[in-house]
Chain A
């Protein structure tokens, strides 16, 4: 079930809220758990078993750590057992096909028979909830989070449908208190609703409208210069509005029932450097990679060479987390290499900061090039787009096959999307041209009117669009 679908909006969600608010407060986590498991089982009932198994496994390991004391060697060993158990499940379901495929390709090259293999289906959301388990166990070992003694609270944390299948990657510590007691009010429900409405409009009105254009271009074998750049830029916008929209919907839904989820995006395309980009894009994943991988590998404490290696390795692993293909590994290496170069450049003696406009342009160029290999179905397809972008298919105009997809109702959404991306450059972002207003926009009468009516209008428009076309799955569901 996806958020931008009628079965979710017109059945699941009203029934959930109805039951949730009539349930006495101390039983509300049961309602969350029941509906969240139902939400997950809607796709495939059998994979609900995996979610319950991994939840129970991690819960028991955590209780075991508490029993032996997480700071002891036994506690460390239990943590390792729990982390490897979780990563083992992720490795099997997500990477077994990839490993066997590569193995078979190698042995076939040497004339041996490939190993027979039936592809394994990746359970939806596995990548996200496994990371939560890993962070939970490591945090217990580090003493930064208490062990949940309530199976209900822990299972509800893992299963909250708002974040179950595509994040944000919420740490247990962030909502541990709210799992026990949280505040409900019409104002808070409305705050969550406004966030949800904006996210829904971003996903349905912007991202999904751009989707057909992207699909067409990324199927071209030899796109022209214009095709390739249009495809890369349009996908850059689509992915942002899709994923940021989904994240806002998740944050809004959580807020409606009293949870405060962390932000996942902060105007990433306004970043002045690639380092800043990763502080603004998929922030909950970035901090996971930083806290549990980069620092665990030694971070920047073991000399410059090791720091660069760590950066590249962490981003390559981050790339592989997105999907089991070489495309994602290359995408991760590309970003890791870019971060390393940026770090080297910014630490050169006498180096002055780059002008913002130049830094932002270079960052966008790096990000756009990265998104091509991220989106392409295989490496050959990615290289076809790159060849077009660098004029290897000539500097011709738009292909005839693309012109038919670019009807004005789609074409207009490209500048509209760009406008929404860069509007904060006027005021509101740290790079904004104007200083912060004495009275924030939202506090003015007109601003207040806009933040009330704007989400509603966007919600209604997106609903009409949803009526008129098939639902488009969230791009991050595949990860």
Chain B
């Protein structure tokens, strides 16, 4: 069929054909002119100019390094890049119902992370490496008489299953069981969130529709389960109360962001993306007894509990609910996007930890990250755990 474009089309209506070709010629010319403007803006952008100055010698030109810098600038610094990527994501979603390489779209706009569904490469080996790191960290903490409580946050795709339209891969389905088998030898105290969640009547309510994290309901139930698993003798006489805002507001929708649709402008376009989560935000505060005496210099006692975790510990008021359930203040040093070990590595190597160590470390880990290849944070954490004489680096 493309031969029609490649040969002289014998047309009765030569005028119309000529006009058609001229329109395409003008369109191509305009496209080239616009492209040139975009291209020049890309290579004259501050980042590109910085790299170009470094690679502007004759030697760099001959070695092809200058060309590589320009290729990179054209691939990364084009104006309108975000707009066109969003347009692509919108077409992908509206035409094909697909969330892109990161997100699986279920029924009723329920979104799931692909990493929770598809098989991970070298999953068991990566989990074994992490078990080894945890073992070393636990041993080092035990030497300082600090207890550790592991919290493995189950995957949305294995709990909120009512709208999932694709089966879990064999690896993903057995991921938690594999972890439990591998880590059993450590004999670490663990809060079994999966069992608690699986026993709930409405598991979907424990997760948000368009977010990879648990809902406030899920976070509160998980917090209670974690508190119930704590056996370390700590002062649990503090009182906390959770306030729920009266007005509804838009909650975090990280999976819409991962679909590339977070940048859609205007109300009309926002209606074209999957429905986000709306709800009542909540926050937990401590009720201070005015008769209670604080430190003479305002130096209240350090929290006996440290929460080392991921965005799960920062979202949906999990940290607040945990304090409420424990009846004890919690030093929340979690880091969003920190994966398995970033917050742990930062905290354990900090002056804060060296000078005011807690009695109990609650280490929250998302099940889905257990299978990723080890990152630099984890290698540094392993090095810290292996070397008792290492000093704090992050005051």
Could you tell me which A residues sit within 8 Å of B by CB distance?
A: 1, 5-7, 9-11, 13-15, 17-18, 42-46, 186-191, 193-199, 202, 244, 248, 251, 256, 263, 265-267, 400-401, 403-404, 407-409, 412, 420, 423-424, 428, 439-443, 445, 448, 451-452, 455-456, 459, 461, 463-465, 467-468, 470-471
Contact = CB atoms under 8 A, between A and B. Distances in A.
B17 A14 contact: no
Given A189-B25, A456-B27, A42 B84 contact: no
A193 B24 contact: yes
B26 A407 contact: no
Nearest to A421: B1
Contacts of A18: 36
Contact of A467 (B71, B88, B117): B88
B21 A194 contact: yes
Given A187-B18, A400-B169, A443 B36 contact: no
A316 to B, nearest CB: 30
Contacts of B98: 407-409
B337 interface: no
Interface string B25-36: 111110111011
Contacts of A46: 62
Nearest to A7: B74
B20 A10 contact: no
Report the contact-size class of chain B (Cβ under 8 Å from the partner). 35 or more
Nearest to A46: B62
Contacts of B75: 6, 470-471
A5 B92 CA distance: 21
Contacts of A265: 2
Contact of A45 (B1, B64, B81): B64
B43 interface: yes
B87 to A, nearest CB: 5
A452 B24 contact: yes
6 contacts: A13-B35, A42-B67, A244-B2, A442-B4, A451-B4, A464-B84
B28 A468 contact: no
A451 B74 contact: no
B22 A442 contact: no
The interface residues of chain A, by DSSP majority, are classed as: helix
Contacts of B23: 190, 452
Contacts of A420: 1
Contacts of B91: 461, 464
B1 A428 contact: yes
B143 interface: no
A267 B119 CA distance: 39
A420 B81 CA distance: 30
Given A190-B24, A420-B1, A467-B84, A251 B6 contact: yes
B61 interface: yes
A445 B15 CA distance: 11
A95 to B, nearest CB: 25
A188 B17 CA distance: 11
Contacts of B307: none
Contacts of A10: 35-36, 38-39, 42, 74, 78
Interface of B: 1-7, 9-13, 16-18, 20-29, 31-33, 35-36, 38-40, 42-43, 61-64, 67, 70-71, 74-75, 78, 81, 84-85, 87-89, 91-92, 95-98, 114, 117-119, 166, 169-170, 260
Contacts of B74: 5-7, 10-11
A248 B5 CA distance: 9
A251 B170 CA distance: 49
A339 B2 CA distance: 26
Given A14-B33, A443-B12, A452-B20, A400 B4 contact: no
B32 A442 contact: no
B7 to A, nearest CB: 7
Given A186-B25, A189-B28, A190-B21, A468 B84 contact: yes
Contacts of A468: 84-85, 88-89, 260
Nearest to A6: B74
Contacts of A198: 2, 5
A45 B29 CA distance: 30
Nearest to A245: B2
Contacts of A7: 39, 67, 70-71, 74
B93 to A, nearest CB: 9
B21 A187 contact: yes
A45 B64 CA distance: 7
Nearest to B71: A7
B92 to A, nearest CB: 5
A120 B80 CA distance: 41
B5 A464 contact: no
Contacts of A465: 88
Nearest to A280: B3
The residue among A13, A424, A442 with the most chain B CB atoms within 10 A of its own CB is: A442
A261 to B, nearest CB: 9
Nearest to A463: B84
Contacts of A15: 36
A451 B13 CA distance: 13
Given A195-B5, A196-B28, A451-B20, 19 more contacts: A7-B67, A9-B32, A17-B32, A43-B67, A44-B64, A190-B24, A248-B5, A409-B92, A428-B3, A439-B12, A440-B11, A443-B9, A443-B12, A443-B13, A443-B16, A459-B31, A461-B91, A467-B84, A467-B88
Given A448-B13, A468-B88, A193 B25 contact: yes
